Amino acid sequence: MELSEIGEFGFIRRVSRGCLIRSEGVERAIGDDAAAFHVPSDELTLVTTDLLVERVHFLRDATSAFNLGHKAMAVNLSDIAAMGGTPREAFVSTAIPAGCPVEYLDEMYDGMKRLAAQHGVNILGGDTTASAADLVLNVTVIGHVRRDQVLYRSGARPGDAVCVTGPVGDSRAGLHFVLQGTQGLDPSMRRLFEAHILPRPHLEEGRFLAATGAATAALDVSDGLSSDLTHIVEESGVGIRVEAEGIPISAELREFCARLAKDPVRFALSGGEDYVLAVTVRRERVQDVSRDFAARFGRPLYRIGEATDSGRLELVTPDGRVDAVGPTGWDHFGAHDA
For the chain, domains (ranges, CATH) are 7-146 (3.30.1330.10), 161-324 (3.90.650.10)
pLDDT given at position 201: 99
Specify the range with the lowest mean pLDDT, choosing from 14-18, 64-68, 235-239.
14-18
Phi/psi at 280 (5° precision): -105, 140
Kindly tell me if the per-residue pLDDT of 41 is higher than 90: no
In order of 65, 194, 226, 265, 294, the CA distances from 175 in angstroms are 16, 9, 18, 17, 29
pLDDT in tens, 184-219: 788 889 999 999 999 999 999 999 999 999 999 999
> Which of 2-6, 36-40, 184-188, 248-252 is the most confident on average?
248-252
Cβ neighbours of 332 (radius 10 Å): 10
Kindly tell me if the per-residue pLDDT of 95 is higher than 70: yes
| Closest C-alpha to 16, from 110, 102, 119 | 110
CB-based contact 172:255 (threshold 8 Å) = no
| Closest C-alpha to 267, from 181, 170, 190 | 170
In order of 20, 159, 225, 289, 329, the CA distances from 281 in angstroms are 37, 9, 17, 8, 24
Q: Residues with Cβ < 8 Å from 278, sequence gap 6 or more?
A: 162, 163, 164, 218, 219, 220, 221, 225, 228, 229, 232
Distance of CA 235 to the CA centre of its chain: 20
pLDDT given at position 328: 67
Q: What average pLDDT does range 293-314 have in this prediction?
A: 98
Phi/psi at 216 (5° precision): -110, -25
Q: What average pLDDT does range 234-243 have in this prediction?
A: 98
Kindly tell me if the per-residue pLDDT of 332 is higher than 50: no
State which amino acid sits at residue 305.
G
Which ranges of 119-273 would DSSP assign to H, the alpha helix?
170-180, 187-197, 203-212, 225-236, 251-260, 264-270
Kindly tell me if the per-residue pLDDT of 338 is higher than 60: no
Kindly tell me if the per-residue pLDDT of 248 is higher than 70: yes
CB-based contact 19:29 (threshold 8 Å) = yes
Report the C-alpha gap between 64 and 87 in whole angstroms: 25
Kindly tell me if the per-residue pLDDT of 13 is higher than 90: no
The beta-strand segments (E) located in 98-208 are: 122-131, 136-146, 161-164
pLDDT given at position 307: 99
Kindly tell me if the per-residue pLDDT of 271 is higher than 80: yes
> Predicted confidence band at 43 (pLDDT cuts at 50, 70, 90)?
very high
Report the C-alpha gap between 195 and 210 in whole angstroms: 25
Kindly tell me if the per-residue pLDDT of 11 is higher than 50: yes
pLDDT given at position 91: 98
State which amino acid sits at residue 53.
V
Q: Which residues pair with 222 in a beta bridge?
A: none
Report the C-alpha gap between 227 and 231 in whole angstroms: 7
pLDDT above 90: percentage of residues in the chain? 86
Which strands form 86-97's sheet, in the order they lie side by side? Answer: 43-53, 136-146, 86-97, 122-131
> Predicted confidence band at 324 (pLDDT cuts at 50, 70, 90)?
very high
Q: What average pLDDT does range 40-60 have in this prediction?
A: 94
In order of 68, 154, 327, the CA distances from 206 in angstroms are 24, 16, 24
251-260 helix and 170-180 helix, angle to the nearest 10 degrees: 50
CB-based contact 314:208 (threshold 8 Å) = no
In order of 3, 125, 282, the CA distances from 12 in angstroms are 11, 9, 48
Question: Mean pLDDT across the chain, nearest whole number?
Answer: 94
pLDDT given at position 261: 97
> Predicted confidence band at 336 (pLDDT cuts at 50, 70, 90)?
very low
Phi/psi at 60 (5° precision): -60, -35
Kindly tell me if the per-residue pLDDT of 102 is higher than 60: yes
* Share of the chain residues as helix, strand and coil, in percent rounded to the nearest 5: 40, 25, 35
DSSP 237-295: T-EEEEEGGGS---HHHHHHHHHHT--HHHHHHH-----PEEEEE-GGGHHHHHHHHHH
pLDDT given at position 4: 73
pLDDT in tens, 105-161: 999 999 999 999 999 999 999 999 999 999 999 999 999 999 999 999 999 999 999
